Structure 1
């Protein structure tokens, strides 16, 4: 599979720069079944890759492989040009890869701010002082829309705010690569546009962003490239308009109702 091409984003790095995240032939077998097979991608700073596909297509498995939560059966994962294939999650996090989870996993015994402060003290450039980590946590919480809620326990958060906390924890690591697994799930329509604006702002800050999402309009709005997984393999990859009008994608995932509502 060829690497994504495109013009450099405003405020980002040149498109010719080396990928900060690269996979080659990446696969994971469970028993005799490959959940993900032969996935190659190259993600550069200041670029957003949208990943779509039907339920069970292997999207979350791909994130788990890249982040170290699953070990690949085949292929490789490189971060910053170094081989992290099969590395433990904390090693990959220290290399600058942060992720969110579909099922939120806060530390229930800590406040919202302390959840984020823990992340600030762990990342590639950890904050040594607890007081400084707490200050940075408050700044990150403000950025994701949780300003003023740092003192509450995670159990008091709504579903949408719990997802904001997931994003805040990831950002507090100061990552180079951000893996977002359905971070928009649970948001009300009025909350989606500000979330998309934040993701685009992070890309313009130079982060390499991989985002899994079922809201196709959102994927089309924020992605430089879209990769479609189907039965664990890459069905196609390319610019959003091209991919979303591909007849194979329509048949496998979108359905013809989508194309009637969104003519190219």
Structure 2
């Protein structure tokens, strides 16, 4: 609980620091697919694919913002469960910003993370600290390197005996080295409902609010995102004992 309070204070400081008149607000969608292979000895490997898209066309102060895919991200993560409370993981991610435009940016990423879970009957608290090494490639500029730290805290509440659940989480991003517009660079709040689809995996849908510092003046790009995700765990019997959100560990 102490960690959660400290995190909420950091979110408030982030919001206070980035209140400016040039903020932008758009609607969008963020679909994702997660596939996990579970092994013995608490080991698993997860593949994740996510996209973030701005929907609709906007004309703001004589600048046109069209509907477009903003990000494509894929990740392969190996995780090890130490006990009921602690999990460690590491892997590789690739992201492409503005993938179909001339001003694209490619990013190769190494990921290390540790998660702490407080299990309970019908309710669990989880938190995750992640550190990333990031290599950037641009179409008309030299490549660069940077690092980023992320902290996420959330709650999962089981709603009924059919394993329907409600989830809420918040993640704060900090640029620890390399190119940046702000040290506290991004915040992502999400809440949604998930449920199993018999032996076909799990489906989850909800809304996220993603705020990104978009320039050195600390103006924000704000996206209200419809988030939909499908996840599957091999072997299928594991889906009855492993929570899809906790197991894939990527939200």
Q: TM-score, normalised by structure 1?
A: 0.23
More strand by share: 2
Q: TM-score, normalised by structure 2?
A: 0.23
Compare relative contact order (CA 8 Å, sep 6+) and give the higher one, 1 or 2.
1
More helix by share: 1
